[in-house]
Amino acid sequence: MSSEYDDAAANGLARALRVPASSDRLQAALAAGTTPKPSYIEVLVDRCAVEPDFFVRDMLTWALVRHDPEVTVPRLVEELGSVFPQARSQALHTLSKTGDPRTWSAITLALLEDDEDQVARAAWRTAAGVVPEREAPALSELLARQFGRGDRDVRLSLTRAFLSIGELGRDAAEAATTDTTPEPARSHARATVRMLDDPELDFDEALATSH
């Protein structure tokens, strides 16, 4: 009976997360996190891959974090291999909120260098937040290969990852500021070093004065 009840609850949640009004979907995700059920996890993860509304996605993440990490974390790690970019990026975002040590080992080079900017940005942010101190210099060297990538927002995300790592990432950032590094990567690296020196510095100002 309990299994049938859980299945019915999960099916009800799935229907509620497909209604047209984003405010109703938000309330459904809120309810799922307020009264967690193991049967909700698959529904919530699946919805993360396709939910178009930012605020609903954020509530889906909150709801998942409210569930048992022994179940949610392995399922989220599995989602990192999805063919859907939003599924990968949202799984990374949710893993960053769990604080689970298994997250670090799940962040692969493929995710850090993902062709989809939204995935790479989520991987940079998540990796910088969970990296063990001894691994931080190596992670920074990998991140330094992304200097100059994308538009202003993408570059800001990378710089923020370096700021999160802090002094342990300085050597890798400084190594990318030399004349052997082509533009725009060199200017981006210089701006990042300037912000390591002064984290209160405005990113656009740092970038404008680093050419």
Q: What percent of the chain has pLDDT over 70?
A: 98
Q: What pLDDT is recorded for position 65?
A: 97
**For residue range 94-115, what is the model confidence (pLDDT) as tens digits?**
999 998 989 999 999 999 999 9
pLDDT bracket for residue 22 (50, 70, 90): very high
Residue 85 lies in a domain: no
Number of domains in the chain: 1
By CB atoms closer than 10 A (0-12, 13-18, 19+), residue 170 is middle
Q: What pLDDT is recorded for position 1?
A: 41
The answer, yes or no, to whether residue 201 has pLDDT greater than 70, is yes
Residue 70 lies in a domain: no
Residue 184 preceded by cis peptide, ω within 30: yes
Residue 191 lies in a domain: yes
Dihedral (CA of 198, 203, 208, 211) sign = positive
The answer, yes or no, to whether residue 2 has pLDDT greater than 60, is no
How far from the centroid of its chain's Cα atoms is residue 19's Cα?
26
Q: Cβ distance 73 to 102 under 8 Å? A: yes
The answer, yes or no, to whether residue 211 has pLDDT greater than 90, is no
The answer, yes or no, to whether residue 116 has pLDDT greater than 50, is yes
Residue 177 lies in a domain: yes
**177 is in which domain, residue-wise?**
131-211
Residue 154 lies in a domain: yes
Q: What pLDDT is recorded for position 130?
A: 94
Q: What pLDDT is recorded for position 99?
A: 84
Q: Cβ distance 62 to 29 under 8 Å? A: yes
The rounded mean pLDDT for the chain is 95
Residue 204 lies in a domain: yes
Report which DSSP code applies to 83.
S
Q: What pLDDT is recorded for position 3?
A: 64
The answer, yes or no, to whether residue 69 has pLDDT greater than 60, is yes
Q: What pLDDT is recorded for position 52?
A: 97
Report pTM.
Answer: 0.92
Residue 103 lies in a domain: no
Return d(Cα 143, Cα 84) in angstroms, integer. Answer: 23
**For residue range 82-95, what is the model confidence (pLDDT) as tens digits?**
999 999 999 999 99
Residue 25 lies in a domain: no
Q: What percent of the chain has pLDDT over 90?
A: 91
